[in-house]
Amino acid sequence: MLRTALTSQSRLFSSSAARLTKVAVLGAGGGIGQPLSLLLKSDPLVTSLSLYDIRGAPGVAADVSHVDTASEVNGYAADQLDQALEGAKVVVIPAGVPRKPGMTRDDLFNTNASIVRDLAAAVARVAPTALICVISNPVNSTVPIVAATLEKADVFDPKRLFGVTTLDVVRAARFLSGISDAPPSETVVTVIGGHSGATIVPLLSQTAHGKVVTGEAYEKIVQRIQFGGDEVVKAKDGAGSATLSMAYAGAKFTNALLRGLNGEKGVITPTFVKSPLYEDQGVDFFSSNVELGPNGVEKIHPIGPISAEEQALLEACLPELKKNIEKGKAFVA
């Protein structure tokens, strides 16, 4: 049992030399925030964990702080946002409302846009050099909102802002493993574009197990990767969207970021960043493989060779993504 726990922990987190790294979670009391905080407490690269929410964070912090790993944990109440952010190197934001059945991620815009904008303004004021990971939906719009807010405060560094699309990558590996005779470690799929429905573009053709999936099976797995979140929303029947798998994905992405910060080479993962790849088509935020380093984004990789089907998916993605990005920018302007 213990061996299993340790094995799965080391699979989620790889560590290198520990530095002083304070990670703040904004929205730590929520469905994602709580298990994410627990997983970050287990990450040896996190030395201090700062948990903030408009409700419940001190309780979550007291609970998580008893886990016997080296990091210290502090909880902050609604009026203590600035204290929570002081000295943070990484800020992870899962604050905001989740979907209910029948809702798209864009339906969350009205509520989450202002939450994310206000939190970003606080980060700009208190921890302007922190790396920011945005989980709150709609990611395609909330990331441009954070960028525009930081820009207004004159502290935007495109290397330091990330939309977390890791759950799409996690789902793609799991679903492809499910239909092939291989473990998820061998069915890793690069997922590009954005983080909602048609903007999610899995590049199955770039993997050995993915390129042999054709016809109806191909249509089905693409649909499942793009709309996997709906399966969870439906099964939870009004109680929210993915929280546990999202916490896993969020912790996995944060660990990758911390490994890059600590100077580990070759840490590459898809993430939604300010990107030159489709800027000429008015899409200036895009997820593709990004190499992470001591300053955040080290290198944005091109998408590489894709199939005709993937080209069609990309063509459907770009105009929708453009609209989502513009909506986010317009909110701040």
**Residues designated catalytic:** 195
CB atoms within 10 A of CB 56: 17
98 lines the binding site for ligand NAI (CB under 6 A): yes
Report the candidate in 231, 251, 222 with the shortest Cα–Cα distance to residue 317: 222
Instruction: Give me the least distance between CB of 216 and ligand NAI, in Å please.
Output: 27
Interface with ligand NAI includes 241 (CB under 6 A)? Answer: yes
Dist. CA 188–CA 204, nearest whole Å: 9
Please tell me the chain's helix, strand, coil percentages from 3-state DSSP, rounded to the nearest 5: 50, 20, 30
Residue whose pair of structure tokens reads 């894709």 in the numeric block: 306
Q: Which stretch binds ligand NAI (CB under 6 A): 8-16, 65-73, 107-115, 319-327?
A: 107-115
Of the candidate residues 22, 117, 171, 195, the single one contacting ligand NAI (CB under 6 A): 195
Helix (H), strand (E) at residue 113:
helix 109-126
Report which of 172, 306, 285, 305 is spatially closest to residue 226, judged by C-alpha positions.
172
Quick check: 141 binds ligand NAI (CB under 6 A)? no
136 a known binding residue?
yes
Q: Which two tokens stand for residue 328?
A: 């986010």
Choice between 28 and 176, CB closer to ligand NAI: 28
Binding of residue 55 to ligand NAI (CB under 6 A): yes
Q: Does 197 bind ligand NAI (CB under 6 A)?
A: no
- Cα separation, 69 vs 216, in Å, equals 47
271 binds ligand NAI, rule: CB under 6 A: no
Residue 19 labeled ligand binder: no
Contact window for ligand NAI (CB under 6 A) among 3-11, 31-39, 176-184, 297-305: 31-39
- Residue nearer to ligand NAI on the CB measure, 205 or 287: 287
What lies within 8 Å, CB to CB, of 70 at 6+ separation is 44, 47
Phi, psi of 193 (to 5 degrees): 100, -120
Q: In the complex with ligand NAI, which residue's Cβ is closer, 264 or 285?
A: 285
Chain residues in the site for ligand NAI (CB under 6 A)? 26-27, 29-33, 53-55, 94-99, 108, 112, 115, 119, 135-137, 139, 164, 167, 195, 240-243, 246
